[in-house]
Amino acid sequence: MNSYEEKKQRRIDYYNEKAEKFEQESTRLSQESSKMIGAIPMGQPLMPDHHSYRSDKNYRDRAWGKMGKSVEIGQKADYYRSKAEAAEKNTAISSDDPEAVTKLKSKLEKLQNFQSYMKTVNSYYRKHGTMKGFEGISDEKAANIDETVKNSYSWITAPYAPYRLSNNNAEINRLKKRIAILERREETGFVGWKFEGGEAIANREENRLQLLFDEKPNDEQRQILKSYGFHWSPREQAWQRQLNDNAIYAAGRIDFICPENGKNPRELQPKPVKKDVPDR
């Protein structure tokens, strides 16, 4: 398990712990409420003219208040439980993951193979007018595919509609661009800088641009940091956001964290090494 996966697991554990805590509290309040309500004689109404009216009403209000609080806290438990489940099911490849490039390339290969498969299927159908005889497809399934194409829109002349190939190809191109960006980041990296009253650190291990201040930023400065996507991390004791080109660009627009040498943060970053182009 790499650092990103450990961080993800910590987040899942945190959500589950919060859910468990709220579930226990909700159960406790529900039981207390039921016990209090159970102590009231069956069918016993409030008696406004009786000397015990006020204490009786307060007792009942507390009992129902506990039940209402139990429901409210139960909803919080459901919220955190759903957050944990969503985090566990999330298969999106984050740029924070040290193995992001490897995982993206694997996903890219699958999409490229699928693109080739769709083209092969469509080519076979156009040539033979049927999917029968296509390797890996039974005659029964082939007949169903033929029937689907026959009853489809007039512009669909093959098993895989044009938009399927177009959408898949768009995803292939998107992944290629993302892989190129991440590979360039791995090759060149980012560098931090000192500014008056603090330091910007390019933390590659955490994949965060972190701002460390000698003194706590004032209200206006904190608001500016938030507007440019920086958030306070109690664990890291730093203002930070994901380390990428956008973070460097955003930092360059915040005057109170500009480098001491007067340059823009973008000017300090290493430039990609130009690769030699072989002679033709």
Cα pseudo-dihedral 58, 59, 60, 65, rounded to 10? 80
Query: Looking at the predicted structure, is the pLDDT value of residue 159 above 70?
Result: yes
pLDDT score recorded for residue 274: 64
State pLDDT tens for residues 80-101: 999 999 999 988 888 878 888 9
Query: Looking at the predicted structure, is the pLDDT value of residue 207 above 70?
Result: yes
Question: Residues of the chain with pLDDT > 90: what percent?
Answer: 69
Residue 41: pLDDT band with limits 50, 70, 90: confident
Query: Looking at the predicted structure, is the pLDDT value of residue 8 above 80?
Result: yes
Paired tokens of 200: 């910007």
